[in-house]
Structure formats: C-alpha cells, structure tokens
Amino acid sequence: MTDTSDTTPEPDAPLSEWETKAAARTKLEAELFTHNKAALLNALALAGVTHVVVSFDGYGDEGQIQNVEVKAGDDDAAMPAAVIEIGEAIWDQPEPKRSSVSIATAVESLVYDVLEKTHCGWENGDGAYGDIIFDVAEHAITLDYNERYTATENHTHTF
C-alpha cells in the first residue's frame, strides 16, 4: 500500500502581536535580572556584606517579606545605605525603565523577581514560605522554598 498523504510539515504560524510582545518582554526581563543581580551583589561586596537572608511567607492571596538578615561574615550587619541603578521591563517598551534605588529596595525587587520566576502564585491558597539567600562570594541567589497544601484522603467501604 502506498501512502499518498502530504508529509510536508506545515510551517509554524506566525506569532500574534501579543506573543511577539510577550517574547520581547521575557527576553528583556532575563537580561535585566542578570544586570540587576550583578549590580546588587557588587554593591553588597563593596559594603563588606557577605550574605543577605530574606524570609518570606504568604497564603490566602497575601504574601510578604517577614525578615531581612544582613551578615558580614558571622556578624550581623546593617543594610548598606548606598544607591544602585536597576532596570524594569515595561510592557510593549523596547527599553527598560531605569531607577536609582536603595540596596534594600533592590533586594526586595530581586526577591519578588525570583519568586515570580519560579513559583508564580506562591502567596495564593495555602501559600508558601521560605528563604532567599544572597551569597555575595558565590555571586548566587538561592531560593529555599516550602509550599503548603491541603490534602484530603477518602476511603469508602461497603460490606
């Protein structure tokens, strides 16, 4: 038997205007995250900070930062008062909005960026909690994430 069907794959449909804009924003957000992370970690290093640990908690459509701990080695330290420039992607804009913000504001911004990138909706329902660790020496941001959920187990027996 001979297959006479056309096996030429259909070309991918062109992206809609919205999909094109979304792809451009996603790309810009990734570039800005890398830039913002570097600017923040470099500023923390210049101030002698070795770690920042941010604890977050959320549930029932509410979520917030619970605590911010700043360390210089093993010692507690104050959040540096310096100002840095960070960028933010704006929908349908090819260039980011650039702002000069305090280091504390930059930490908060990156905390919410990390949560949005990995666990969008972390504050909904039973929610989640955890820590985000800014490790200056490793030039890394680590998310320790704990998700809450309600489980129901049902057993029905008829004898």
pLDDT of residue 13: 72
Residue-wise pLDDT for 49-68, tens only, equals 999 999 999 999 999 999 99
- The residue extents of the domains of the chain are 17-147
pLDDT of residue 119: 94
pLDDT of residue 39: 98
pTM above 0.95, yes or no: no
| Average pLDDT score over residue span 65-88 | 97
At residue 1, what is the residue type?
A: M
pLDDT above 90 for 86? yes
* Exposed/middle/buried for residue 78 (C-beta within 10 Å: 0-12, 13-18, 19+): exposed
